[in-house]
Structure 1
Amino acid sequence: MRVLAVFGSPRKNGNSARMLEAALEELPEEAEIRRVYVAEKNIAPCCATRDCLTLGYCPVEDDMQALYRDLDWAEVVLFATSSQFGDVSAPLKAFMERTWPLRGKLKNKIGGYVVAGRRYVESSINTLHAFILRHNMILGGRGAIGYGYHEGDVENDRLAYEDSRKMARRVVEVYELIHGNRR
Structure 2
Amino acid sequence: MLKTKNIKFELVTEDDAERIIELRKNDNLNKYLSATDEDIEKQKKWIKEYKNREKDGTEYYYSIRTEEDEILGYVRVYKINKKEKSFTWGSWIMKEEKPISSALETAILIYEIAFRELNMEKALFEVMKENTKVVSFHKKFGATKISEDAEFEYFILEKEDYFKIREKKYKKYL
User: Which interval holds the TM-score relative to the shorter structure?
Assistant: 0.3 to 0.5
Q: TM-score, normalised by structure 1?
A: 0.31
The TM-score with structure 2 as length reference comes to 0.32
Q: Which has the higher contact order (CA 8 A, sep 6+)?
A: 1
